[in-house]
Structure 1
């Protein structure tokens, strides 16, 4: 038997966009593989270097040209701030956040492989600069490439509406006709972006396969692992064999968070409602956190406002006229894996990881999200029966209050969330990934 203390099982590169919500799942995978005896290097944004190293993983920085700070995307990408959330901003992000870095990402990977000849590369699916590795070389001449789906699946299908429309499946032939018509329209509108993508990949020396980019993200890697369960993802009868759902990962790695002084209150008799805007779209707490606090100020509930920013409690207090309601506890960061077992409802703007973490603990949701992939997450929450989709990113307090009351009062949401929690518990994503790495 191989002595893993003297010789690593495999050499593995993991990589993610330099954004907290992308780094967290890939770092969790890297840390688990390192603990199993593999030699792992994490290629990522420089601001995460200490977190990566605390997790017991070697760090390598992305090139400076693409090492932006996700805490201020508008500063990193001039012109973005002028675009309202919606189609125009999405098109901007596709061009400049996801596509422009492709040649730089690919060159960084090749440079790292030259001094660290890895057996496998495990990548956040949004690092599209890893795709040329498989497009340029036959399998025998390169590492195995494994894509990780950290957002709702964008895989096109005859059974689903195009990603971005936030439409749940429609059964039968009627649904397929609808989906086909919508896909044709989306493809027509996306033609300029498709040509742009082809140009960018040509600069990396490869030809992008025919079809939507969402298809290439799944079919080009040797394996594509979606971090969810079938109960929270639309069925696709035409999904390729490389596409697998493997469950959700546990919380953040390398980021120990102390418990707040009021922690004992979350185990009290009052229902606990947690509200958060996640780690990306949290610059304006008046979108969801403040309206939720206003809505629940007179309710017999404990409201935990998890702002996910160090100045969050102060900023929220300012929005509320300088004083928090008696039943509100505001915090910058809180260990969600310890808070959610005591939570009765999570009010969220639809971060994929946070929503699924709630479901792992059987917590029903109220979701209000308008940016990035959040409308798609919210649509899945309602489709799965685990909560309500408010279909806006900036709800009125009365709307939030009614939704929270409904979720608390109607046991069907909690029951369905617990059923989904049991489904998540049946999966062993770390074991699945490790077994796949070893088989490839």
Structure 2
């Protein structure tokens, strides 16, 4: 999918495979051509009908901004962002494979043109398909509530009964979207299998790898054998840009709290970054506000009356792989990659996010014991301050985050994917 949070992991996988000597072609959004080249892959752009700029989804998809966050916008996104491009993605894949007879296709789970490839061709007539889960697992299960509700597992038969009732209700309400999905895939010349589309996304590929560990993903006793948790990908160290002049402060005596709204939901810094800065302005901590946009520091100062508190360092970009080893707590709106990067370094997390997959990430943070879910996308400063005090002051959060960090360290996801490529082909 031509969005940074989806493209980044696939580029990292491409770079690793290219470094191992494989010939790699990257099919993706036009703005990532340079990044693909740096990864050592030949780049092919998705057709215009399947490409968009995730930095401004509302401009890419007219009418989206008129819908409030919630069921209506989710339904709009499912139709326009994820389903409408499927026939164009599928045709682009077929055209690419006609001139580049690949032995394996590795696809982000949300690029469902790859799903059409597996459904439309017998295994003997197509490359091996490896699906990659770059968001919390969407696989329906008797053991979990349906994806999107942000509900952690409930044990026993009571929990299973709850899950069945919720899935039945979701299936009923989602019937129009299911019929729409079937129509889109039929236009591509393939038939979707019976049952929830979330299961097909995982069960149809020859192997589906979920980029996480068991400690951060709900157990599913009924998962297909092809479904594997393989750990989180390590990020780039970020040595291509000079470190800020204040970098020495992060290795000082004060505790460090990092706050970010990620790379997608950072249009309004008043949602989380500003409340966090306001909440911690008088605390004896160093606050690093990673705004994710070039004008972010100026916008943040404007939201706070024209100047930043003395203990705040605001930046557009900061190399998280270098910052998080010196961080005591992360305040995040729930980006899957960013939260898992923090946990890899044993950093407890406070999450406040309601868009995209963020409620599911937030629920997993609290379920895992590594942090707190504020269950809102726009918390009051008092709520953020209380939560930060809890994760800094109660050792159980740091202890659990460190245990998860040790679990992540046991996995070698690049080796696993390379091994799958070689064994499946």
Give the TM-score band, short-chain normalised.
Answer: over 0.9
Once the two structures are TM-superposed, the CA of residue 315 in structure 1 deviates from its matched residue by 1.1
Q: Give the aligned partner of residue 150 of structure 1.
A: 134
Q: Equivalents in 1 of 2:311, 2:192: separation in Å?
A: 54
Could you tell me which of 393, 399, 403 is aligned with 1:419?
403
Flag structure 1 segments of 5+ consecutive residues without an equivalent. Answer: 1-16
**Cα deviation code 1:171-202 (max 9, x no counterpart):** 01111111001110000000000000000000
Q: Give the aligned partner of residue 157 of structure 2.
A: 173
| Distance change (3 Å), C-alpha of 1:47 and 1:332 | same
Q: Equivalents in 2 of 1:105, 1:401: separation in Å?
A: 45
Q: Give the aligned partner of residue 5 of structure 1.
A: none
Q: Give the aligned partner of residue 432 of structure 1.
A: 416
Quick check: 1:88 aligned with 2:75? no
| Superposition pairs of residues 12-411 of structure 1, within 5 angstroms | 17-252=1-236, 256-411=240-395
Once the two structures are TM-superposed, the CA of residue 408 in structure 1 deviates from its matched residue by 0.4
TM-score under structure 1 length normalisation: 0.95
Q: Equivalents in 2 of 1:78, 1:255: separation in Å?
A: 38
Q: Give the aligned partner of residue 11 of structure 1.
A: none
Q: Equivalents in 2 of 1:252, 1:319: separation in Å?
A: 31
Name whichever of 101-110 and 313-322 sits farther off: 313-322
Once the two structures are TM-superposed, the CA of residue 260 in structure 1 deviates from its matched residue by 1.1
Root mean square deviation, CA, Å: 1.0
Q: Does structure 2 retain, via aligned residues, the 8 Å contact 1:44–1:61?
A: yes
Q: Equivalents in 1 of 2:241, 2:71: separation in Å?
A: 36
Once the two structures are TM-superposed, the CA of residue 254 in structure 1 deviates from its matched residue by 8.6
| Distance change (3 Å), C-alpha of 1:233 and 1:246 | same
Q: Equivalents in 2 of 1:382, 1:173: separation in Å?
A: 22
Q: Equivalents in 1 of 2:65, 2:145: separation in Å?
A: 29
Q: Equivalents in 2 of 1:69, 1:189: separation in Å?
A: 30
TM-score under structure 2 length normalisation: 0.99
**Cα deviation code 1:395-419 (max 9, x no counterpart):** 0001000000111000000000000
Q: Does structure 2 retain, via aligned residues, the 8 Å contact 1:286–1:319?
A: yes
Q: Does structure 2 retain, via aligned residues, the 8 Å contact 1:55–1:254?
A: no
Aligned length: 424
| Distance change (3 Å), C-alpha of 1:269 and 1:169 | same
What SS is found at the alignment partner of 2:24? strand
Name whichever of 130-139 and 372-381 sits farther off: 130-139
